[in-house]
Amino acid sequence: MNSSLRAFAARVTGQAITTFARFITAPRAVWQGIEPVRHQRVYFANHSSNGDFVLLWTALPVPLRRQTRPVAALDYWLTSPLRAFIGREVFNAVLIDRRPEARTEDPVTLMAAALDEGSSLILFPEGQRNSSDSTLLPFKSGLYHLAKSRPGIDLVPVWIANLNRVMPKGEIIPVPLICTLTFGAPLHLAEGETKDAFLTRATQALLALKPGQL
């Protein structure tokens, strides 16, 4: 398939995925403390479903969506030609190898390079899907290192509610439910702030957006 046909197929596939996501979840974006404007950002969210980044990407207005790339697991998205096409061509994902022993490139360097190219990012700092009883898994250090390397970028917490009920783990048929995505005020690394202090603050900022929190 030549490049123009691949680009066309990617656009059609992307439209089909977003249409399906909207039909199943009727996503409602709540911009709380921040506006949906074309400003470079890192959106960091809770991760309870394999559809999280698709829903967050879908909930963004089209101009923001066009400049936003999800950070996704290379070892998942390159396991088949179809997944590779969706990950690379449709979503233009920044693919990160979660296997330290197999990595050839540093994850933070890859994310920083995408930011330097003008992209915004969708990031899940828990590092993996949360199927535990905990509200959030401990954050990995990537968000801190990214904030440290690119301190001017807005880090925007996003709480995704209900998607884990739409597609419970182990199920293949989604259950239609309204999902809400709450976008909070941006964070930045404070001067002299330690990794642990920053990750605690980022965790608290995300938890504060969970429905039912004061």
Furthest-apart CA pair in the chain: how many Å? Answer: 53
pLDDT, averaged across the chain: 87
Q: Which residue has the higher pLDDT, 196 or 13?
A: 196
Highest-scoring range by mean pLDDT, 1-10, 126-135, 145-154, 169-178:
145-154
Secondary structure element (H or E) that encloses residue 160, with its range: strand 154-161
pLDDT of residue 2 exceeding 60, the answer is: yes
Of 3.30.200.20, 3.50.50.60, 3.40.1130.10, 3.40.50.10480, which CATH number belongs to 3-207?
3.40.1130.10
Cα 180 to chain centroid distance, Å, stands at: 15
pLDDT of residue 131 exceeding 60, the answer is: yes
Phi, psi of 114 (to 5 degrees): -65, -40
Place of tokens 């399906």: 20
Confidence category of residue 214, pLDDT binned at 50, 70, 90: very low
Secondary structure element (H or E) that encloses residue 70, with its range: strand 68-73
Q: Domain ranges for the chain, please list them.
A: 3-207
Indicate the length of the chain as a whole number: 214
Q: What is the pLDDT of residues 15-53, one digit of tens each?
A: 888 888 887 777 889 999 899 999 999 999 998 877 788
pLDDT of residue 175 exceeding 60, the answer is: no
114 Cβ neighbours under 8 A, 6+ residues apart: 69, 94, 121
Give the pLDDT score at 213.
57
Q: Which residue has the higher pLDDT, 11 or 186?
A: 186
Q: Is 129 left (phi over 0), alpha (psi -120 to 50) or beta?
A: beta
Handedness of CA 118, 123, 125, 127 (dihedral sign): negative
